[in-house]
Amino acid sequence: MENFPLNKVVRLIEPGPVVMVSTLQQGHANLMTMGFHMMMQHDPPLIGAIVGPWDHSYHALRANKECVIAIPGVDLIDKVVDIGNCSGNEVDKFARFGFTPRKAKHVAPPLVVECLANIECRVADMQLVDQYDFFILEAVQAWINPHRKEQRTFHHKGDGTFSVSGRTLNRQDRMVRWKQFQD
Amino acid sequence: MENFPLNKVVRLIEPGPVVMVSTLQQGHANLMTMGFHMMMQHDPPLIGAIVGPWDHSYHALRANKECVIAIPGVDLIDKVVDIGNCSGNEVDKFARFGFTPRKAKHVAPPLVVECLANIECRVADMQLVDQYDFFILEAVQAWINPHRKEQRTFHHKGDGTFSVSGRTLNRQDRMVRWKQFQD
């Protein structure tokens, strides 16, 4: 994994991929699958995320206020869907699904080696957690796997179907107001 | 345009497409382009969105607390990018870019006839507007254009490049915890 600049984390999150959230509680790492998230601010990078009491990870995130957002390639879709359909209460998800944890740099929860990218996050704001299960996370370190063969992400269409990211269209020449984000 | 059930609005937003926001202030309709948004709750559908003071639409949204989220097909990408690179202060965007406004059912801002889908929204919560420019919107009516030929969306990769939504993978059989969202 290679270091990825924090002010470019927007490039990983804004397209809206399905992600996994890695947490750690009392020595147990857990994974959940997440589709309700967004970029809120470029730099320092803030990410909004819904993690609810129905998620085992919710309690770890509330308690320890750290997580890793891992972005899987589409080759991992079946494992990622299955991780979203069982509970960390019952299953050691890293072991069951064959994901490899790796020590993060700034947070306690582990990175997920097999993913396209990993974003180490700290909870920055919990004002809307009680009312909406809405956490604001600040990215404090990011990593990418640029040599990974499959770089396509997948996006939940809300009903158990997923669209795979397709070809890239470059419109940088038209983005005259936002040139600072193209470096 | 055909009515689309509110409890299925998640299917339009969760994949993370670039959208346009239609607002109305003092009789003037405006459009902006938006990539920082998310689904927050299925039903009633809540959508989180960053609209900042740098956006002309911000003032309309704060004042009138209504908008329409319009989801463009990839055939409209150049217009949508250009709309994100000029200001409603200076330009009548519906006229300049050839979009057709249509009266909405429950809100004052107009629908955008050419888009794949339109979601009429009311501002539901402004607690985090001053601090983060974060609006929570409740969808109150949705419309789709199912007979439109180009149904692919596009997703901002944060740097002026965009990925086009590709093929759909069906994993409904594995979504055992979330069957209620498949009807």
Q: What is the DSSP letter of B3?
A: E
Q: Quote the minimal CA–CA distance from A25 to chain B in Å.
A: 24
- H helix intervals, B125-168: 129-132
* Complex confidence, ipTM: 0.96
A3 touches chain B (CB under 8 A): no
| Residue B150 pLDDT class (50, 70, 90 cuts) | very high
Average pLDDT, chain B: 96
User: What is the share, in percent, of chain A residues with pLDDT greater than 90?
Assistant: 91
Q: Name the more confident of A94 and B178.
A: A94
Interval B63-80 mean pLDDT:
98
Q: Is this prediction's pTM over 0.95?
A: yes
Measured between beta carbons, which residues in chain A are less than 8 angstroms from residue B172? Answer: 159-161
Is A170 in CB contact (< 8 Å) with chain B?
Answer: yes
Q: Is the pLDDT of residue A37 over 90?
A: yes
pLDDT at A141: 98
The predicted pLDDT at position A61 comes to 97
Q: How far is A173 from chain B (nearest CA, A)?
A: 8
For residue A89, pLDDT over 90 is answered with: no
Residue A11 has pLDDT above 90, yes or no: yes
Opening angle at CA A90, ends A87 and A96, nearest 5: 85
Between A84-88, A117-121, A151-155, the lowest mean confidence (pLDDT) is in: A84-88
Note the pLDDT tens digit of each residue in A62-77.
999 999 999 999 999 9
In this prediction, residue B16 carries a pLDDT of 98
What confidence tens digit (pLDDT) does each residue in B9-35 have? 999 999 999 999 999 999 999 999 999
Using the predicted structure, report yes or no on whether residue B177 has a pLDDT greater than 90. no
Gyration radius of chain A's alpha carbons:
16
What pLDDT was estimated at residue B180? 84
Predicted local distance difference test score (pLDDT) of residue A63 = 95
User: At which residue do the structure tokens 């290679």 appear?
Assistant: A2
